[in-house]
Structures are given as structure tokens and as C-alpha cells.
Amino acid sequence: MNRQPNLAIAGVTGAVGQEFLRILEQRAFPFARLKLLASARSAGKTIEFMGKTCLVEELTDASFSDVDLALFSAGGSISKQFAPAAVEAGCVVVDNSSAFRMDEQTPLVVPEVNPHAIAEHRGIIANPNCSTILMNVPIWPLHQAFGVERVVVSTYQAASGAGAKAMEELEQQGRDWAEGKPLSDEIFGRQYLWNLFSHNSDIDPQTGYNTEETKMIHETRKIFSDPTLRISATCIRVPVLRAHCESINLTLRRPATEQQLRRTLENAPGVAILDDRQANRFPEPLIASDRDEVHVGRIRPDAGQEPGYGYEMFIAGDQIRKGAALNAVQIAEHLIGQPQEART
């Protein structure tokens, strides 16, 4: 691909679309021309970017005739409708929705894990689910070094994972609660403030797993190219604006000392260790917000497993950045031959 492609962002007015713009500027992503695309109701709006006023255009099948690379974050149904049209026009799509993730001919990529898969694309490259990305960044180097036999993960997912409107509703509930007013609950249908609940995705009545949990299982196996990897996930919404946390329990295939485990994580791309036992200082959403790295702490042996084989850790990562927009931009950097690591 051209090292300065004509670039489009589909879904630019959403939370991830806005983050695309921030990251493109921060990482000095090279492009010749930029096209901002959104729904018909957003067409005609203007957005300030890199000192210029840019016009938002309506996303249509004809939007990609002069575009080399498109970053999509407009929802699965929109991606299914317009990504094929973009590919037909000769454009490469990096899609942030779930539309193509499990398609056998579409690479599913976390650049710190499987950048080689990018070259296998047929016009579309899928961005994994946010919780999957955040877990995979620290788990992959341990899988390479010691083999991971089993993962048990519990997530603590912020409002940002449900989009800008969910974040706005949580903020509004805070204001309403402080003023003694009834709390609005249009997004989740329940009080979010001072509460937590099972992730709001659909639950399979047969398995009892919700869609978010299933995504973490199947996507990780695909990204790792390891269909035998055993994973169990429990995904929970917590009243936090931005940045997801995850509690991860690992069973290794080959034993490792805690020092070996820590050294592996310290040298892993995209990982920042925050593990101060004396000060009780560990990963938190506020610390991880607006940061590129996945913060890892509470690293300790699992007292319930054979010594050397079981470990616990707690992670925090910005869902809008590394869990979505940054991961897609990193894929785009590989496409133009200019890969970068996370910025500290």
C-alpha cells in the first residue's frame, strides 16, 4: 500500500471515530487525503482536525472510489453493508465491528500477537473485541514462553465499551442522583450508577454464556491459532466511565517461577507493569485511561494450583484506545510498512 494513502474514517462522529482522529494525529500517521464519513443525520457537520475544519460526508457505497484505506467503527450492520463496497472499489478496510471477526477468510489481528496475519487479508482486516485485545496483549508472551493451558477471566467493563451515549447516561445518572431526581436508564434499562451487572449482550439460553464472553473465547483461539486453548469468561458492567479491567487466572503448560513470569511481561510489547504490593498500587481504570499500554499487576501464584503452573494477575486497559481505535491504527501502520509500538 502507498505509504501516504488516501484515508477514510467511517463512523467518525462516534466515540471510537473521534479517538481515531486523536491517535492519527498523536502518532503522525501519514496520509495524502482524509475523508470523514458518518450517517446521513451527521452529514454536513464539521470536525476540527490538525488545525483544519473538515466536513463530514454521508457514508454511501460510492464513498470509497478514491480511498486506499478505511477505518470502520460504525457497527456491525453498517460494516456488512458498506465494507464490501469499499473492497470492491479497491480499498482495504480495518473493521472495528464484530461483522467479520470469525469469518475464515478475514484476519483477526492484535499487532502485538499476530501481525503476520495482516498479509493474508482479502480486503478486510478485523479488529477483535475490546476485552479480547486487552487480555491477549499480556497473555500472548506468556503463551509463547510457557504455553497457556487454561484461562479463567472475569471482566469489569466500563461504560465506554457501550459507546458515547452510555458514558453520557452514567454521567447524567450521577447528576440526577446528586439532585435527587429519578435516574434515566435508556441505554441499559436499569440503574448503572452505584451498581454492576452482567454484561448487556445477549445470553445463550443453552450455554448460559453471553455474547461478550463467547467472543473472548472464540476470538482468542483464532488470534492465537490454538483451538485447544481452554477459556472461561465472565463479563460484568461496572459504573466506570472509561477503561476496562480484567482478573485473569492462568494455568501454564510448562512451569515458570514468578520471577520468570514477571521478566517475560516486563519485556512484552504493549505491557506496563504496575505492581507495588507495599503501596497497594495496582492497575486502575483512571490510571489506564488515555494510555496505550495494558497495565498489569497483582501478579502472584495461584495458591490452588501446583506450584509453578498457576498464576493470577489483574489488568487495566483503555477500551477506546488499545481496545479499539489504537489497535486498528496499529494494523494500518503495518499495512503501510510503518509499524509502531504503543506510546508510553
Q: Which residues are catalytic?
A: 130, 244
Nearest alpha carbon to residue 143 among 212, 27, 228, 29: 228
Backbone angles phi, psi at 289, to 5 degrees: -60, 135
DSSP 278-305: TTTB---HHHHTT-SSEEEEEEEE-TTS
Do the Cβ atoms of 148 and 311 come closer than 8 Å? no
- For 310, the grid coordinates are 498457576
CA–CA separation, 265 and 328 (whole Å): 23
The beta strand positions in 212-293, using DSSP E, are 230-237, 244-252, 271-273
- For 14, the grid coordinates are 462516534
Beta strands 124-126; 148-157: pairing state: unpaired
Local structure of residue 183 (DSSP, 8 states): P
Local structure of residue 84 (DSSP, 8 states): H
The beta strand positions in 11-72, using DSSP E, are 34-38, 46-49, 52-58, 69-72
Name residue 343's amino acid.
R
